[in-house]
Amino acid sequence: MPTIAMYPGSFDPVTNGHLDIIKRSSRMFDKVIVAVLVNSAKTPLFTVEERVAMLRESCKNIPNVEIDSFNGLTVTFAKQKGATVMVRGLRAVTDFENEIQLAHTNFAMMPEIETVFLATAIKWSYLSSTIVREAAHYGQDVSRFVPRNVERALIAKREAGEL
């Protein structure tokens, strides 16, 4: 039976750090579902549809990666999609506390879904979507932090006054 993993997140926007985790996960599992969270508690820069489209473009050359979106509990969506592994990226020790709480809670709800933590490559360990949005807002070159399609989308948001 193929192993299906899910990598959930906001991806607002997707960064090279996210892509590092996606590419490495794709080598570990038969299928990786990158699940874009619809989070009603946050006001994202990009719509869910825009984030899904950016991820699809960014991951088009990784054949075993599927991009989808969901609303609700991550473990519920993972179970619906047949995932047995939840992939979580860690940039630094500060990420661990929140991520381990999520992993324990998810396990309490659905013990058949294991969580795997992947440390982001050192060269991306400082990078977050928040930092990228802030740099783009002030007109900084973000080309080394995000894929080209995401860079274009950030520039368009800035020029439209939405960033």
The verdict on whether residue 90 carries a ligand-binding annotation is yes
The verdict on whether residue 69 carries a ligand-binding annotation is no
Q: Is 58 a catalytic residue?
A: no
| Helix or strand run (H / E) with residue 28 | helix 16-28
Question: Using CA atoms, how far apart are residues 163 and 153, in angstroms rounded to an integer?
Answer: 10
The verdict on whether residue 130 carries a ligand-binding annotation is yes
The verdict on whether residue 144 carries a ligand-binding annotation is no
Question: Using CA atoms, how far apart are residues 20 and 84, in angstroms rounded to an integer?
Answer: 21
Q: Which amino acid is at 153?
A: A
The verdict on whether residue 129 carries a ligand-binding annotation is yes
Q: Which of 25, 26, 58, 129 is catalytic?
A: 129
Q: Which of 31, 51, 91, 133 is catalytic?
A: 91
The verdict on whether residue 137 carries a ligand-binding annotation is no
The verdict on whether residue 46 carries a ligand-binding annotation is no
Q: Is 129 a catalytic residue?
A: yes
Q: Which two tokens stand for residue 79?
A: 């179970």
Residues 6 or more apart whose CB falls under 8 angstroms from that of 26 comprise 32, 62, 64, 65
Q: Is 133 a catalytic residue?
A: no
Decide if 51 contacts 44 (C-beta within 8 A): yes
Q: Is 42 a catalytic residue?
A: yes
Cite the active site residues: 18, 42, 91, 129
Detail the residues annotated as belonging to a binding site for ATP.
Answer: 10-11, 18, 89-91, 99, 124-130
Detail the residues annotated as belonging to a binding site.
Answer: 10-11, 18, 42, 74, 88-91, 99, 124-130
Detail the residues annotated as belonging to a binding site for substrate.
Answer: 10, 42, 74, 88
